[in-house]
Structures are given as C-alpha cells and as structure tokens.
Amino acid sequence: MVTSKDVAALAGVSQSTVSYVMSGSRSISPATRARVEAAMEQLGYHPNASARALAGQRAHVLGLVVHVTARTELAGVLPFVETVTGAAREREYDVVLVTGDEGDAGLERLARRGIVDAFLVMDVTRRDPRLGTLARLGRPTVLIGRPDEPLGLHWVDLDGRRAGELAVQELVAVGHREVIVLGEPVGEPGEEHRFIADFEDGARQAAERAGVPVALVRPPERGWAGVLAVRDRLVEGARRGGLVARTPQVAERVLQLLLEAGLDPARDTALVAMCEDDVARRLRLPVTNVSTESRPLARRAVDALFARLQGRTDLPDEQLVTPVLTRRTTTPGHPDRP
Amino acid sequence: MVTSKDVAALAGVSQSTVSYVMSGSRSISPATRARVEAAMEQLGYHPNASARALAGQRAHVLGLVVHVTARTELAGVLPFVETVTGAAREREYDVVLVTGDEGDAGLERLARRGIVDAFLVMDVTRRDPRLGTLARLGRPTVLIGRPDEPLGLHWVDLDGRRAGELAVQELVAVGHREVIVLGEPVGEPGEEHRFIADFEDGARQAAERAGVPVALVRPPERGWAGVLAVRDRLVEGARRGGLVARTPQVAERVLQLLLEAGLDPARDTALVAMCEDDVARRLRLPVTNVSTESRPLARRAVDALFARLQGRTDLPDEQLVTPVLTRRTTTPGHPDRP
DNA sequence: TTGAAAGCGCTAACAC
DNA sequence: GTGTTAGCGCTTTCAA
C-alpha cells in the first residue's frame, strides 16, 4: 500500500506537505506542489479513508435513511437516491444506505461510531417516530417530508397545497365544471404524510374558489381492487368533468378504465396526474402532470445538509419546493393549445 | 466521546482487554468480561469505526454497484438493495452505494482508499466493461448477472433457460398448442444480458420439445408504443394460444390489451409473466408467474461475498438460481386445478 | 488469562 | 512556505 509517507519521500518533502497539498488548507509553492503531485501520480497514491477520518474527525460519509413500506412508490425512490449520491460525490462524500430494519438503534450506531457525519431521511411522516432520536443524536440532519413538529431539524418537501391547486386549476381552465380527486385508500392513515393532506386541501380549496364541485373519492383498498371498486363513480365523473390522480399507478389504472368505458381521455374528459415528467410521457397517453420534482428536491436536501455540515446557520430551516404543471394530451381544449 | 480507554479505566483492565472482549478473539474470564460489559453499558460506549478500520485493515463496508439505465426496472432494484443491506448488517457490515456516474474511477477510489472491502455489482451484462477494473482491483467481488467472461469473478444469476422453459411448459400443460413470447424491443441489444438470451432460448426449446410453434415477438420500441404496435399479433395469438411476458410492465400492458379486445385472460387465453410474486398477485388479475427470486438471489450473492471475504475458496465460482412458477388465474384449465 | 506498547496512515497544531 | 511532532481510537503482537 502506498502511503503519504512514500509520496513525501519521493517528492522530497514532509508528510504534512503532502497532506496540505491535498487539502489546500495552506499555501504551497507551485514547484513543491508539482513535485508532490508528480510523486502521487507516479506511485498511484490513494489516501486512506479510515486514517483520514480518524485524524480529521470526519467520515466523509452521509447516511441516507430509506424506510420501505407497502406504501412506498418503489420506482420513485431510485432516481432520488441516485441524485443524492451524485450530489454527495460532488462534495467528496459517499453515501451509506440505512434501511428500516435496525430502527433507531441503527441511526444511533451510525452516528456514535462515526460511520456517518450526517443524515438524510426520506419519506418523513407528520409524526415520524425517528425524529426524537435524530434530534438527540445532534448530527446535521435533513428530512424529506414535513413533520408536524420538526424538533429543530431541517426539512424539505414538495408544496402539496400548490400541487393540488395546480391540478384543479388546469381542469377548470380547460372548461370542466366538476372535479373528482382520487384520494388515499380508506382505512389507511393517508394524513400520515403532510404532503397528501395538503394536496387534498389545495385541490378542494381551488375548486371552491372556482365555484366548482369537488368529490374526493377514496378507494376502499390499495391496488387494482380499490380502483375497480370505485370504477362507476370515476367513469360517471369523467363523463361530466375532470379527474385528478395523485400517483402514477392510479393514473395508469384510471386511464385504462376510461379507455375501456369508451372514453378518450384526450377528447371526452380530462386527467391530471401527480408524477414525474418522464413517467407522464410514457403512460399510454402523454398525461398532463404535476411534477414530483424528486431530483430538485433531492438536490435541495443535499445542499441544506452540506450547509449544516459546514456549520452555516444562515439558512431557512424549512423549504417547500414548488411543483410544475405540464400540459399534455389529457387536458384537451386548453385555450393555449386549441 | 467515550473511548475504549475510558471503558478500560472504569473496568480496571487494559485497553486491549476491552478490544478482546469485543472481538472475541481470545478467551476472557467471565468476571472480567462482565466488568467490561458493564462499563461499556454504563458509559454508552460505541467503538469508533475509523479507528477500528485503520487498525484492523477492514472497513466493514461493502460497495453495492447500481448502474441505473433506461432499461432498469426501477421497482425491482429496491427490494434487492434492501435485502443486500439487511444481509450485510447481519455480518456487521454497512453498504455504500455506488452509482454509475463515476465509472471505473469510482470503483478504484473506493477500493484503493479502503472505503469498501468488497463489491457487489448489480445488473451485469454479458460483456460488462466494468469487469476488467474489478478483476484488477483484486477485492472480493460478486456479480449479479452472468458475464461471458467472468475473469475469475464470482457471479450469481437466475437460470434464464429454466425460466423460459417453465413458462412455456405451463402454457402447454393447460392445453395451448401455440405460444407467443414477447421479447426485447428490436434495435436494443437484448442479448446484452445473458439471462434474457437464455430465457428466449429456453422458451423456444421447450416449445420445440412439445411440438408446439413459438413466435418471438419483438416490439419495435420500448414502452406502451412498442406494445401497441404489435397489438394485433398479440390479440390474434391470444385467441389461438398462450402468451409469455418477460417483465411486469409488459404483462400489465398485455393484460390490458386482452381485456380491451374482449378476451378474458382467466378463461379465453393464457398468460405467464416473469415477475416477483407480489407483483403478480397485484396485477389486475392474479397472473401466473415465474418468479424473479430477487431476494434469494441477493442473499446468495451476499453469502458468496462473505465467504470470499473470509478467505474461503471452497465454493463454486458461479451459481444459477432456479426460478419457481406459481399458478394463478391466467393459466386456466390446468389439470391440477380443474 | 491479562497487560504493555507499537503501530495503522493521516491531520493539524506549533514551530521556524 | 515548509518541517516536526503529537495525536485520532483502535488492533495485535510480544511478554508475562
């Protein structure tokens, strides 16, 4: 193994000079820097991460907490995770994955052993049981999802109210005088996530402001069975007005039911889905969508985390990201696209 | 920060004794062990990971290489990742995520800096460009996916030939005398993955052995558009025989087209999909499926990796996992379920 | 069965 | 602008 000592010897400098060349934390003459860099190159030097972490009191690793439940949209988390690791790498950080199994003890272990310097927690609910532990651990932490009581932790979330509003406003704009919002399945604590509650609120209020009746339809269960159980109401509603689906899965199923009922979502009715843009484009029809902005959200979260890691406190403790609506074929007759 | 020195002082032993109590690598008298453990408990001691890694020459971290491409089935990777981290944790290992962006330099960095002790590489293609680097790095490595030239690296994969065979045999068993296999979109190098080539081979050969004609239908492109483009052939084929879909997405779309064409997949035709069991159960109809066994596959991969980490070489270098077929409603008329 | 002590490879005062 | 040196908190010989 090549160490910084070897590099120092070859370059004819001290070990600390090698260290300073790497960290840039003190000025080095161009000549010395060149010799050191040449030596590194020649020896194929790679600094040892454990030694650096031990001496520097920083692991250069952040913990990404992903708790997968039955309700998790599996396909949505990977782009998020990828964005996080990419953004972390730009700052010379690696990412360790924390899955739910270990619970709070796992978080404690990672923090106390110095395996991670900071936490990024995905899919935080309104009264998330992990928050107490995270606050107590005192490591820089950013939550994805808005809790009722942040306990001093920073959070980032999509603006649910605005998302619901955008969806309904689009339906109203294309001339619909009635709106059906497909909500969370009954019996499940849909209000667990602040975003969902806000979405339904925003949709309802936008409809009220427009003087248009809204129905919030909750399927009796999750999955196909739930959607099928409310099929008649949906198809009926679609004949008279427009539909809002809060997830791509539901959008896909609704689309299918509409087609089977002989309704063309691009002509006879309207549909707005909440999902990633690329998913919206790849559904059976390109569906008008309110974006979930998962990559921008991930970036903001990482930015906030590194700001804290660098001891900055001049930033807001909470950030709401504004979703964007993109018109596609399922909001026909829009004035901008006659 | 509480260190092993503090624990030693409180327990009235030397630091090395504390270390040996933790590692179990030398015998300790019950009395001493009890005192040390009590001291750890009392102080809330957590051993520092960097120090341990530096002294012990092991990071206790493995690198999970996930290269997400347009073809990646996003929903499929998370269960896999979760299983890997869970299995790693059982051996006191953590997992760092390696995404594709950094390429081979990223793998080199992780290995050379001693950030990871070993690699688990997902979604390996037949001539995967990463293999050269991985072989050169000399760290224990297990590939998920069978390369043409393993270069001495261990691999684990699902038995594609058997999977294709099972699907076709089921269709034949329920009385179909004609089979359509939905293959990879044309223009994409579908043979990139060994599993896919083997799957198509296995299906073809099983049909030949049964004296039944097979058609391999390749959609002209990926996504809905591709499936729609071959709709007529599929529906025609379904009227006369059975269908095989190699992914849950394709299965979902085929199901929909059949329903729209007035065919009930539970009565009028038959469909076998390759997908996870829980996905098969949650499609619009419970679909007969050949399992992808992603959790068992992940487990085997981790087992193989730890065997190598412990220097064991008494194991096969390659492992094929056998998929399992589960009959559900879309293979009607099976003799076992009249 | 236990202790003393020498590192592991780096960082960051403190010197000059 | 550079060198010297004392750790960071563990593991693991070597000795007893």
Point out the residues of chain A with pLDDT beneath 70: 188-191, 334-338
Chain A environment of B98 (Cβ under 8 Å): 85
What's the whole-number mean pLDDT along residues B51-67?
97
DSSP state of A101: G
Domain ranges of chain B: 4-45, 61-158+295-321, 160-292
Q: Chain C positions under 7 Å from a protein CB?
A: 1-5, 7-13
Could you give the residue ranges of the DSSP H alpha helices within A57-151?
74-90, 103-112, 131-137
pLDDT > 90 in chain B, percent: 87
Q: Which of B150, B103, B142, B105 is nearest to B126 (CA)?
A: B150
Main-chain dihedrals φ then ψ at residue A310, nearest 5 degrees:
-90, 10
pLDDT of residue A292: 93
How many Cα neighbours within 13 Å face the side chain of A254?
32
A114 sits within 7 Å of strand C by its CB: no
Inter-chain touch A54–B59, beta carbons under 8 Å? no
Main-chain dihedrals φ then ψ at residue A271, nearest 5 degrees:
-145, 130
SS3 A261: coil
Lowest mean pLDDT among A232-241, B303-312, B326-335: B326-335
**What does the DSSP assignment read for A142-159?**
EEES--S--TT-EEEEE-
Inter-chain touch A113–B48, beta carbons under 8 Å? yes
Q: Do residues B244 and B203 make contact, with C-beta atoms less than 8 angstroms apart?
A: yes
What amino acid is encoded at B126 in this protein?
R
**d(Cα B106, Cα A322) in Å, to the nearest integer?**
34
**d(Cα B282, Cα A249) in Å, to the nearest integer?**
12
CATH architecture of B61-158+295-321: 3-Layer(aba) Sandwich (3.40)
Q: Given strand A154-158, what is the order of strands in its sheet?
A: A318-321, A154-158, A141-144, A118-121, A61-66, A94-99, B94-99, B61-66, B118-121, B141-144, B154-158, B318-321
| E strand or H helix that includes residue A56 | helix A49-56
pLDDT of residue B59: 98
Strands, DSSP E only, in chain A?
61-66, 94-99, 118-121, 141-144, 154-158, 179-182, 214-217, 242-245, 270-274, 288-290, 318-321, 325-326
Q: Which CATH class is domain B160-292?
A: alpha beta
What amino acid is encoded at B331 in this protein?
T
Q: Is the pLDDT of residue B236 over 50?
A: yes
B322 sits within 7 Å of strand C by its CB: no
Within 10 A of A87 (CB to CB), how many other CB atoms are there?
21
Q: Is the pLDDT of residue B15 over 80?
A: yes
B56 sits within 7 Å of strand D by its CB: yes
Query: In the CATH hierarchy, which fold is given to the domain comprising B4-45?
Result: 434 Repressor (Amino-terminal Domain) (1.10.260)
**Fold match between domain B61-158+295-321 and domain B160-292:** yes
Q: Do residues A181 and A190 make contact, with C-beta atoms less than 8 angstroms apart?
A: no
A268 touches chain B (CB under 8 A): no
- Which position has the token pair 């909001």? A331
pLDDT of residue B332: 87
What residue is closest to C9 (Cα–C1')?
A51
- Which position has the token pair 């993109």? A326
Within 10 A of A21 (CB to CB), how many other CB atoms are there?
24
Q: Do residues A244 and A171 make contact, with C-beta atoms less than 8 angstroms apart?
A: yes
Q: Is the pLDDT of residue B84 over 50?
A: yes
Reading the block at residue B312, the tokens are 């064991």
pLDDT of residue A284: 93
Burial class of A91 by CB neighbour count within 10 A (0 to 12, 13 to 18, 19+): middle
A286 touches chain B (CB under 8 A): no
pLDDT of residue B334: 55
What's the whole-number mean pLDDT along residues B244-267?
94
pLDDT of residue A338: 41
Q: What is the mean pLDDT of chain A?
A: 93
**d(Cα A249, Cα B127) in Å, to the nearest integer?**
35
- SS3 for chain B, per residue? CCCHHHHHHHHCCCHHHHHHHHHCCCCCCHHHHHHHHHHHHHHCCCCCHHHHHHHHCCCCEEEEEECCCCCCCHHHHHHHHHHHHHHHHHCCCEEEEEEHHHHHHHHHHHHHCCCCCEEEECCCCCCCCHHHHHHHHCCCEEEECCCCCCCCCEEEEECHHHHHHHHHHHHHHCCCCCEEEECCCCCCCHHHCHHHHHHHHHHHHHHHHHCCCEEEECCCCCCHHHHHHCHHHHHHHHHHCEEEECCHHHHHHHHHHHHHCCCCCCCCCEEEEECCHHHHHHCCCCCEEECCCHHHHHHHHHHHHHHHHCCCCCCCCEEEECCCEECCCCCCCCCCCC
Q: Do residues B334 and B174 make contact, with C-beta atoms less than 8 angstroms apart?
A: yes
Tell me the pTM: 0.95
B64 touches chain A (CB under 8 A): yes
**Residue B149's pLDDT band (cuts 50, 70, 90):** very high
B9 sits within 7 Å of strand C by its CB: no
pLDDT of residue B338: 41
pLDDT of residue B303: 96
Inter-chain touch B89–A101, beta carbons under 8 Å? yes
pLDDT of residue B190: 54
Inter-chain touch B49–A77, beta carbons under 8 Å? no
Q: Given strand B270-274, what is the order of strands in its sheet?
A: B214-217, B179-182, B242-245, B270-274, B288-290, B325-326
Q: Do residues B48 and A113 make contact, with C-beta atoms less than 8 angstroms apart?
A: yes
Give B35→chain A minimum CA distance, Å.
22
Burial class of B105 by CB neighbour count within 10 A (0 to 12, 13 to 18, 19+): exposed
pLDDT of residue A333: 72
Question: Which pLDDT tens digit goes with each residue over A24-82?
Answer: 999 999 999 999 999 999 999 999 999 999 999 999 999 999 988 877 888 888 999 99
Q: Which of A271, A279, A274 is nearest to A289 (CA)?
A: A274
**d(Cα A283, Cα A149) in Å, to the nearest integer?**
37
Reading the block at residue A21, the tokens are 């060349």
